[in-house]
Structure 1
């Protein structure tokens, strides 16, 4: 294991420049992160990104349309003092522009009745919308807690499919089950397992799998400033190793022509381009699938980072930047299992 991690570390490490150390000190991020941003975006845009980490991101209400009409819920909450703005690319979600002191968004009667899920921002809606576009069958949510994507998936395939929601961390499973119960979604099966070994739990294949991979969370710095310093480059290499293992093992559970959505709340190419490129280089039975619908102007994944050249198909994958899209940093890549 240690040899594998050191090999990854050697491949992903890029020596920070003097400029990176300067930006690191000024904007309070680790030097390797500052170096990455400059290499990906150029110095001027890297500064825009770093400044965006200081800006709050508006939380989002996703309406549970199994229980309530979006406009009815909007009127009810606005009567309590909320000011809501509909998401332009998804009509059943609203950005909270203003909220009253009481009740908080997570303490309204409507929330307790399961009429909506409270997302930290809109980016997490994207992989579910892409994965379930014109699809109504079963879905495996491999790393499901705390439940935002699981309950959304359950709503999307309601009446036609089940969501098999799995997580490894027991305390997070409690949160998952709590949200499933609160939102009264009945087409969810919950399991407690390491997703790398989940084939021992489910003796079947899936047409759709969501892997919202445990990651550095670097795209969420605006709401969790500790992530500026939390992940050393060695710890990042450990995460990358796990992400490769997760994605590789879950592809084995895909039906032919099935699709897995690989998502992270990280803008790091090490956790995205590098991971998927390793899978494409290792396997001959998988290809990148373009997003089935263009909800808004996404950014593409990059072709090169340091000495690493990534697979050209990765241009089809989606990245959201905080300074461009006004969301968390977030990525999604759709991979299709091909017939051998």
Structure 2
């Protein structure tokens, strides 16, 4: 399918990139690159029906190739289709098992599920999506991949500010953007692109970054990424952010073949922007992306969990304990939580989550009935 690039788009990038712009326009007309990830949270996770003979250099679980969304491997959560450029974002974030991580703009779940796969069901991952329909898709993908350490929320970034001040060790902002880097993967997205739309996206991203700063703990890491070429949404926004918050600074990230430095000339000639990373489809085997890694100065805060009431009465606990021993392979009794009539093994019992719109808190184990506990799907 031919990608219809507007005259405004072409003129903008001819002014920015000179003769190279024509190579970019040609690359946008080519087929997009398919890829997928394995899921190390599953037993024997490499035992899949897809060939693993084209590994992605910068992802230990990523491979080039197409997968069938109706295949058993996909439905059971052994594989996840993800564009190859986007995989590098999680590698830059570098999740650790004991981290408290926020994926602030998480739907449909590509990066969240990658982050969780590196945390080995430990630590805390909060996956947030402001759009309610997309948040449900996010929650579904988390269940399919068998992820247990994640709280899925459907809130605006502002909703987090008073509750989670200086709370998270690492935050990913995969910002909603004008989507220029995905034009060849989604040609219809060109229909809503305009110069004004780019400005609207850049303004919204600044509001998101403002919230993010408040949520990140001292010494914490912030990774910002977009799937657009636009300097307004990338270098210019990062230059603005670093000037507004001087205790934030960019750190260098490793660049593989085809990856390029950020462009200081597109961001008020701030030389630090070379530490950012760009991917253009005329040079890199993937779609267009911008990403950078920033660190917040200062000493890490001492944060204590404020535990909520689990909602389980003494009789509930006795019954659930007996049921778990008989039916749940001795699943740990820690962090059990009753929400309405449902039992969860919660990813967090922290009272900071009270008042947020929570779609999922850890692993849903079952539903309380009058005579028994009917087990529901728990994604393992």
For Structure 1 versus Structure 2, the TM-score category normalised by the shorter chain is: 0.7 to 0.9
Does 2:78 correspond to 1:115?
Answer: yes
User: Could you report, residue by residue, the CA deviation over 1:229-265 in whole angstroms, capped at 9, with x for unpaired residues?
Assistant: 4222122211111101111210111111111000000
User: Could you report, residue by residue, the CA deviation over 1:70-98 in whole angstroms, capped at 9, with x for unpaired residues?
Assistant: 5422xx234xxxx85221222311111xx
How large is the Cα RMSD of the aligned pairs? 2.2
Which stretches in structure 1 are left out of the alignment for 5+ residues?
1-25
1:67, distance to aligned residue in structure 2 (A)? 0.6
What TM-score do the two structures reach when normalised by structure 1? 0.82
CA 1:298–1:234 in structure 2 vs 1: closer, same or farther (change >3 Å)?
A: same
Q: For 1:85 and 1:136, how far apart are their aligned partners in 2?
A: 31
Structure-to-structure mapping, 1:53-202, within 5 angstroms: 53-69=28-44, 71-73=46-48, 76-78=49-51, 85-96=54-65, 105-119=68-82, 121-132=83-94, 136-202=98-164
Q: For 1:180 and 1:71, how far apart are their aligned partners in 2?
A: 19
- Which has the higher Rg, Structure 1 or Structure 2? 2
1:147, distance to aligned residue in structure 2 (A)? 0.6
Q: For 2:84 and 2:3, how far apart are their aligned partners in 1?
A: 25
Q: 2:277 aligns with which of 318, 331, 337?
A: 318
Aligned to 2:85, the other structure's residue is in SS state coil
**Larger CA deviation: 202-211 vs 30-39:** 30-39
Q: 2:18 aligns with which of 42, 54, 65?
A: 42
What TM-score do the two structures reach when normalised by structure 2? 0.73
CA 1:168–1:201 in structure 2 vs 1: closer, same or farther (change >3 Å)?
A: farther
Q: For 2:281 and 2:44, how far apart are their aligned partners in 1?
A: 30
Q: 1:333 aligns with which of 262, 282, 292?
A: 292
Aligned to 1:30: 6
* Between structures 1 and 2, the one with greater helix share: 1
Q: For 1:88 and 1:282, how far apart are their aligned partners in 2?
A: 36
1:188, distance to aligned residue in structure 2 (A)? 0.6
User: Could you report, residue by residue, the CA deviation over 1:279-298 in whole angstroms, capped at 9, with x for unpaired residues?
Assistant: 1222222111111x445452
User: Could you report, residue by residue, the CA deviation over 1:7-31 in whole angstroms, capped at 9, with x for unpaired residues?
Assistant: xxxxxxxxxxxxxxxxxxx984233
Aligned to 2:225: 263
Answer whether contact 2:4 2:190 (CA < 8 A) is retained. yes
**Larger CA deviation: 46-55 vs 62-71:** 62-71
Answer whether contact 1:288 1:313 (CA < 8 A) is retained. yes
Aligned to 1:8: none
Aligned to 1:86, the other structure's residue is in SS state coil
1:106, distance to aligned residue in structure 2 (A)? 0.7
Answer whether contact 2:227 2:289 (CA < 8 A) is retained. yes
Structure-to-structure mapping, 1:279-318, within 5 angstroms: 279-291=241-253, 293-305=254-266, 309-318=268-277
Which stretches in structure 2 are left out of the alignment for 5+ residues?
300-380
User: Could you report, residue by residue, the CA deviation over 1:112-137 in whole angstroms, capped at 9, with x for unpaired residues?
Assistant: 11101111x21111111111166751
Q: For 1:135 and 1:272, how far apart are their aligned partners in 2?
A: 30
Q: For 1:86 and 1:203, how far apart are their aligned partners in 2?
A: 40
Answer whether contact 1:217 1:266 (CA < 8 A) is retained. yes
Aligned to 1:5: none
Aligned to 1:240: 202
Give the aligned length: 298
Q: For 2:257 and 2:214, how far apart are their aligned partners in 1?
A: 31
